[in-house]
Amino acid sequence: MLDAHPAPLVQVEDLKMYFPIYTGVLRTQTGNVKAVDGVSFQITAGQTLGLVGESGCGKSTVGRAMLRLYEPTAGRVLIDGEDVAKMAPEALRRKRPSMQMVFQDPQASLNPRMTLAGIVSEPMDEHTDWSREKKTERVYELMDQVGLNRRFVNRYPHEFSGGQRQRIGIARALALNPRFIVCDEPIAALDVSIQAQVVNLLEDLQEKLGLTYLFISHDLSMVRHLAQKVAVMYLGRIAELSPSRDLYARPLHPYAEALLSAVNEPDPVLAARRNRIILTGDVPSPANPPKGCNFCTRCPKVMDICRSVKPELAEVEPGRLVACHLYTTQADAGSAGATEAKERNQQGVSQ
Amino acid sequence: MAEPAAPVLEVRGLKTVFRTRGGEIHAVNDVSFHLEPGELLGVVGESGSGKSVTMMSLLRLLPSPPADIRSGQALLGGRDLLAMSDEELRAVRGAKVGFVFQDPMTSLNPVFTLGNQVMEPLIKHMGMNRAQAEARAIELLELVGIPDAKRRLYQYPHQFSGGMRQRVMIAIALACDPDVLIADEPTTALDVTIQAQILELVKELRRKLGMAIVWITHDLGVIAGIADRVMVMYGGQVVEQAPVRELFANPQHPYTRALLKTIPRITGARESRLKVIEGQPPILVEPLKACPFRARCEYRHAACDEANPARRAIDGAKIGHGHDVACHWQAPAKAEMANA
Ligand SMILES: Nc1ncnc2c1ncn2[C@@H]1O[C@H](COP(=O)(O)OP(=O)(O)OP(=O)(O)O)[C@@H](O)[C@H]1O
Ligand SMILES: Nc1ncnc2c1ncn2[C@@H]1O[C@H](COP(=O)(O)OP(=O)(O)OP(=O)(O)O)[C@@H](O)[C@H]1O
Ligand SMILES: [Mg+2]
Ligand SMILES: [Mg+2]
C-alpha cells in the first residue's frame, strides 16, 4: 500500500523548537516558549507542501529549525535520507547548497554593504569553484528569472524597493540549484503581476529540476495554486494536513474553517456581503499554551473534552489528518474503522 | 456628491530624485493627492513604482543625499511639511502623522526592547510618565492582537514573529492618536484572521477619531474591503484615481485593467498558469518624456511615444475628486465593451 507512493524527499518527525524564557536580575530560566511543539509531515520529491496558519504560530521557526538555522530541541528532519537535525558541522556545510531558504524579512537578510552581484554570487563563492565569468553569467540569468533589470546589478540593498529586495533573496536561494527550498513568505512584498511571475518561475523550476518546496504563506489563493498538500498550523502544532483540493473545498478543523472564511474578496461589491467567522476569545501564548486543545479558547465548536485532552493528529478521512476531538471522540465511542485509521496513522502513513 | 470637507493632507506636485553613482533616478514624478478626514485612500501599483518613496518624502524620512525633493508641497492642516523646520517636523512625526514602515525589522531598533519603542512616543509626545506609558503600551499591544503583552514588552524584536513585528509597528504608529496614518504594506505578514482584526480596528479608529488613512498594499482584496478611494501608481506617477467601486467596475488605464486581470482567486477552477503583465517597468533614469507604460501596453499608438500623458478627468469632476486617468487612449464605454 505504501509502495504506491513516490518516496518523500523530506520527512519531519516530532520536531520541537523551544526558546528559553529568562527572567529576573540573574536571568534564570523560568520557562519555555514552545514555538514548535511536535510537528510531523512529509513532502514528496518534486512536490510542494503549503504551510499556513496564524501569525506567530511557528511557521518560520519550523523552516529555520529544519535547515538547522536554529538547533532543534527535539525531533528528526530527514532530507534525502539524512538527518539534518543531528548532522556534524562539516557534513552540514556540504549539505547546505542542496537546501536553501527564502527569508521572510528581505531587508534583514541581505548584507547592506554588498551589491546585488555580491549577494547573489556569495553562495557560489562559498560552495563552487566556478570562474568569475561563469558566476557573472549566472547572476544575470537569475536576475532575468526573477524580473530584476540587469542594470541594477551593482546597486546596494537600500537602493531597491521592498519588492525588488524580496526578489534578490529569491535569486540568491536559487543560485546553486538546490533540491529543497523553504520559501518563507516569498511573495508577500510583491505586486500581483510579479507574484505571478515568481510563482510561475517556482513551478517551472519544479517541473524542470524536480525541486521540492515548503511554501509558507498567508496568501491562501497562492497556496491553493502551488501546493498539492497544505498543513494548517495553530500555536506550534498542526491542526490539519490535507490535500489542497479537499481542504479548500471542505476544511475539517474548525481553525482551518475560520481561516478560509476570512480570505479577502477582491471585489468591493462581494466584499461588502461576505460572511466571515470572526474568532473571539483569548489568543493564547506559546509560553503558556492552554491545557487540552491549543485552539479551545477560541473554537466556536469547543466541547468539554477539548479543555482537558490534547487531540492527536489522526487520519479522519482517507488522506486527511486532523487534530480535533470532533472527529476522534465519535470514533472512540464506537466505530472500529476510525480506531484503525488512527493506528494506521501512528505507523506513519501521512501521504 | 456632497461638497468635500477640507482635506487633512494635501500633496501637490511632489518630485523626488535619487542622485546615485550611476546618475539620477526619478523615483517620484509630479504626484498629487489629497486626503479627507476619516477617509481611507488605498495606494496600489507596480513594485518600484514610487509608493514608499512618495510617502517617505512627505515626512522627509529619506536621507539626503541621495534623496532630493525637487519640488512639491505637502500641506498638513494647511502647513507645509516640506517647508517646516526639522524641529517642527519632529513634533509632527509620530504625533500628528503615524507611519507604519514596509520593513518592520529595519525600523525597529534591535538593541531596545519593544516596550521601550512603544512607550517612547507616549512619553515624548503625550507627556506620560513611565507607569502611564507602560499601561497604555500594554493596551495598544492587546489592541493589535498580541497575547501576553506584559511579558512581551521586555522582549527584543528578534524574539517576535514577522507578523508580530508588523503589529508592533502598527501599535507604535497609533500610539498618539494621529490625524493621519500612513501604512506601507502593513499587513503582508499577517494571516487573514488577524488581518481582518486589524482592518476592523482601523475602521473603528476612523469612525471614532476621524483618523484619515493612506494604505499602501498589493492586496487588492484588502483594497476592495476597506478603501474609499484608490490611487494607482506606475513609473513614479499617479496613472489612475477613482472611488473604489468605480475603479473595480470601470478601470480605465491599461495598467489597472491588466492588474485586475492578474488577481488569483480562491474559488473557481485552478488556473494552470498565473497571468502576468509581460515586460519590465521603466527604470526612470531621466524625466519621463513619453508614457512610462507604453512598452507593455496593448493600446500603444503614436501619441504615447510623443508625450507623457497628463491626468484627465473622465467624469467632469475636479482631478483627484472623481475618476481620472493619465492615458492617451480612450477606454470604450462599458456598453461597447460588452458588445466587443
Ligand atoms: N529567537 C526567538 N526567541 C524567542 N522567541 C522566539 C524566537 N523566534 C520566534 N520566537 C517566538 O516563537 C513563536 C513563533 O514564531 P515564528 O516566527 O515561527 O511565527 P510565524 O508562524 O512565522 O509567524 P508570522 O506569520 O507572523 O511570521 C512566536 O511566539 C515568537 O515570538
Ligand atoms: N536610495 C535609493 N537610491 C536609488 N534608488 C532608489 C532608492 N530608494 C528607492 N529607489 C528606487 O526608487 C524607485 C521607487 O521605490 P519605492 O520604494 O517607492 O517603490 P514601491 O512602489 O514602494 O515598491 P514596492 O511595492 O516594491 O515596495 C525604485 O525603482 C527604487 O529602486
Ligand atoms: Mg514567519
Ligand atoms: Mg514600497
Name every residue whose Cβ is closer than 8 Å to that of residue A61 and which is 6 or more positions away in sequence: A17, A35, A36, A70, B161
| pLDDT exceeds cutoff 50 at A345 | no
Q: Categorize the per-residue pLDDT at A42 as very low, low, confident or very high, splitting at 50, 70 and 90.
A: very high
**Torsion, Cα of B307, B312, B314, B317 (10° steps):** -170
Name every residue whose Cβ is closer than 8 Å to that of residue A201 and which is 6 or more positions away in sequence: A145, A146
> Which atom from ligand 1 is nearest to the alpha carbon of A21?
4
Q: Categorize the per-residue pLDDT at B105 as very low, low, confident or very high, splitting at 50, 70 and 90.
A: low
Q: What percent of chain B clears pLDDT 90, i.e. is strictly above it?
A: 57
State how far the alpha carbon of B179 is from the alpha carbons of A253, B5, B16, B144, in Å: 42, 15, 25, 19
Q: Which ligand is nearest to the CA of A189?
A: 2
- Nearest Cα residue to atom 18 of ligand 1: A58
Quick check: B48 and B31 in contact, CB under 8 A?
Answer: no
Q: How far apart are CA A70 and CA A67, in angstroms?
A: 8
Q: Which residues of A touch B220 (CB under 8 A)?
A: 192, 266
pLDDT in tens, A85-120: 999 999 999 999 999 999 887 777 788 899 999 999
Give the pLDDT confidence score for residue A97 in this predicted structure. 92
**DSSP 8-state symbol, B170:** H
Name every residue whose Cβ is closer than 8 Å to that of residue A138 and which is 6 or more positions away in sequence: A121, A124, A130, A175
Q: Categorize the per-residue pLDDT at A279 as very low, low, confident or very high, splitting at 50, 70 and 90.
A: confident
Quick check: B173 and B107 in contact, CB under 8 A?
Answer: no
| pLDDT exceeds cutoff 60 at A330 | no
Q: Which ligand is nearest to the CA of B44?
A: 2
- Nearest Cα residue to atom 25 of ligand 1: A55
Judged by CB atoms closer than 8 Å, whether chains meet at B266 and A106 is answered as no
Judged by CB atoms closer than 8 Å, whether chains meet at B145 and A164 is answered as no
How buried is residue A303: exposed, middle or buried, by Cβ count under 10 Å (0-12/13-18/19+)? Answer: middle
Tally A–B CB contacts below 8 A.
Answer: 184
| pLDDT exceeds cutoff 80 at A266 | no
Mean pLDDT of A221-232: 94
Give the pLDDT confidence score for residue A253 in this predicted structure. 97
Give the pLDDT confidence score for residue B47 in this predicted structure. 86
B22 inside 8 A of chain A by CB: yes
Closest-CA distance of chain B to residue A337, Å: 33
pLDDT in tens, B194-233: 888 888 888 888 888 889 999 999 888 889 989 999 999 9
Average pLDDT, chain B: 89
Give the pLDDT confidence score for residue A191 in this predicted structure. 82
Quick check: B27 and B21 in contact, CB under 8 A?
Answer: no
Give the pLDDT confidence score for residue A295 in this predicted structure. 95
Quick check: A252 and A317 in contact, CB under 8 A?
Answer: yes
Q: Which residues of B touch A265 (CB under 8 A)?
A: 221, 224-225
Could you tell me the distance, in angstroms and rounded to a whole number, from the CA of residue A164 to the centre of ligand 2?
8
| pLDDT exceeds cutoff 60 at A2 | no
Residue with cell 479558547: A297
Choose which residue among A21, A61, A66 to substitute to test ligand 1 binding: the one with the highest number of ligand atoms within 8 A of its C-beta.
A61
Rounded to two decimals, what is the model's pTM? Answer: 0.87
- Short-list B71, B244, B303, B106, CA closest to A267: B244
- Integer-rounded Cα Rg, in Å, for chain B is 21
What is the spatial order of strands in the sheet that A82-83 belongs to? A28-44, A8-23, A74-79, A82-83
> Coil, helix or strand for A35?
strand
Quick check: B274 and A196 in contact, CB under 8 A?
Answer: yes
Quick check: A220 and A259 in contact, CB under 8 A?
Answer: yes
C-alpha grid cell, residue B190: 499577517
Mean pLDDT of A242-264: 92
| pLDDT exceeds cutoff 80 at B188 | yes
Judged by CB atoms closer than 8 Å, whether chains meet at B264 and A285 is answered as no
Give the pLDDT confidence score for residue B337 in this predicted structure. 52
pLDDT in tens, B273-319: 888 888 878 888 888 999 999 999 999 999 999 999 999 999 989 99
Give the pLDDT confidence score for residue A146 in this predicted structure. 86
Mean pLDDT of A220-246: 95
Mean pLDDT of A193-198: 84
Could you tell me the distance, in angstroms and rounded to a whole number, from the CA of residue A162 to the centre of ligand 1?
22
Q: What is the largest CA-CA distance in chain A?
A: 69
Question: Chain B, 99-158: which have a CB under 8 Å from a chain A CB?
Answer: 102-106, 145, 147-148, 151
Judged by CB atoms closer than 8 Å, whether chains meet at B218 and A189 is answered as yes
- Integer-rounded Cα Rg, in Å, for chain A is 21
Quick check: A184 and A137 in contact, CB under 8 A?
Answer: no
CA angle B252, B253, B257 (to 5 degrees): 80
How buried is residue B2: exposed, middle or buried, by Cβ count under 10 Å (0-12/13-18/19+)? Answer: exposed
Interface test with B, best of A61, A155, A192 (most B CBs within 10 A): A192
Of the two residues A325 and A342, the one the predictor is more confident about is A325
Mean pLDDT of A247-269: 88
Residue with cell 566556478: A130
- Nearest Cα residue to atom 27 of ligand 1: B162
What is the torsional sign of CA A289, A323, A100, B185? negative
Quick check: A223 and A196 in contact, CB under 8 A?
Answer: no
> Coil, helix or strand for A301?
coil
Closest in B48, B147, B271 to A285, CB measured: B147
B279 inside 8 A of chain A by CB: no
| pLDDT exceeds cutoff 60 at B250 | yes
C-alpha grid cell, residue A44: 514528496
Mean pLDDT of A136-149: 91
pLDDT in tens, A51-81: 999 888 999 999 999 999 999 999 999 999 9
Question: Chain B, 164-193: which have a CB under 8 Å from a chain A CB?
Answer: 164, 166-167, 185, 188-193
- Nearest Cα residue to atom 7 of ligand 2: A159
Backbone angles phi, psi at A303, to 5 degrees: -120, 170
Could you tell me the distance, in angstroms and rounded to a whole number, from the CA of residue B151 to the centre of ligand 1?
15
State how far the alpha carbon of B81 is from the alpha carbons of A13, B66, B88, B97, B242, in Å: 57, 19, 9, 11, 26
Give the residues surrounding ligand 2 with Cβ less than 6 Å away. A 158-164, 191; B 18, 20, 25, 27, 45, 47-53, 66, 102
- Short-list A47, A46, A49, A43, CA closest to A79: A43
Mean pLDDT of A270-289: 77
| pLDDT exceeds cutoff 50 at A339 | no
Choose which residue among A52, A60, A187 to substitute to test ligand 1 binding: the one with the highest number of ligand atoms within 8 A of its C-beta.
A60
Q: How far apart are CA B52 and CA A162, in angstroms?
A: 9
The full DSSP string for B230-287 is EEEEETTEEEEEEEHHHHHHS--SHHHHHHHHT---SSSSPPSS-----S-----SS-
Of the two residues B191 and B61, the one the predictor is more confident about is B61
How buried is residue B42: exposed, middle or buried, by Cβ count under 10 Å (0-12/13-18/19+)? Answer: buried
Choose which residue among B160, B166, B187, B190 to substitute to test ligand 1 binding: the one with the highest number of ligand atoms within 8 A of its C-beta.
B160
Judged by CB atoms closer than 8 Å, whether chains meet at B195 and A269 is answered as no
- Chain centroid to Cα B152, Å, comes to 29
> Looking at the predicted complex, does its ipTM rise above 0.90?
no
Q: Which ligand is nearest to the CA of B163?
A: 1
Mean pLDDT of B131-137: 95
Mean pLDDT of A270-287: 76
Judged by CB atoms closer than 8 Å, whether chains meet at B106 and A108 is answered as yes
Give the pLDDT confidence score for residue A105 in this predicted structure. 75
pLDDT in tens, A127-141: 999 999 999 999 999
Quick check: A311 and A324 in contact, CB under 8 A?
Answer: yes
A110 → chain B, closest CA residue:
B106
Give the residues surrounding ligand 1 with Cβ less than 6 Å away. A 19, 33, 35, 55-61, 104, 286; B 158-164, 189
Closest in B47, B191, B223 to A55, CB measured: B191
Mean pLDDT of B48-67: 92
| Identity of the highest mean pLDDT range in A82-86, B258-262, B274-278 | A82-86
pLDDT in tens, B158-186: 888 888 888 899 999 999 899 999 999 99
C-alpha grid cell, residue A215: 511554501
Could you tell me the distance, in angstroms and rounded to a whole number, from the CA of residue A162 to the centre of ligand 4?
5
Judged by CB atoms closer than 8 Å, whether chains meet at A220 and B225 is answered as no
| pLDDT exceeds cutoff 90 at A343 | no
Give the end-to-end CA distance of chain B in Å, rounded to a whole number. 32
- Nearest Cα residue to atom 29 of ligand 1: A56
Could you tell me the distance, in angstroms and rounded to a whole number, from the CA of residue B50 to the centre of ligand 2?
6
Q: Categorize the per-residue pLDDT at A348 as very low, low, confident or very high, splitting at 50, 70 and 90.
A: very low
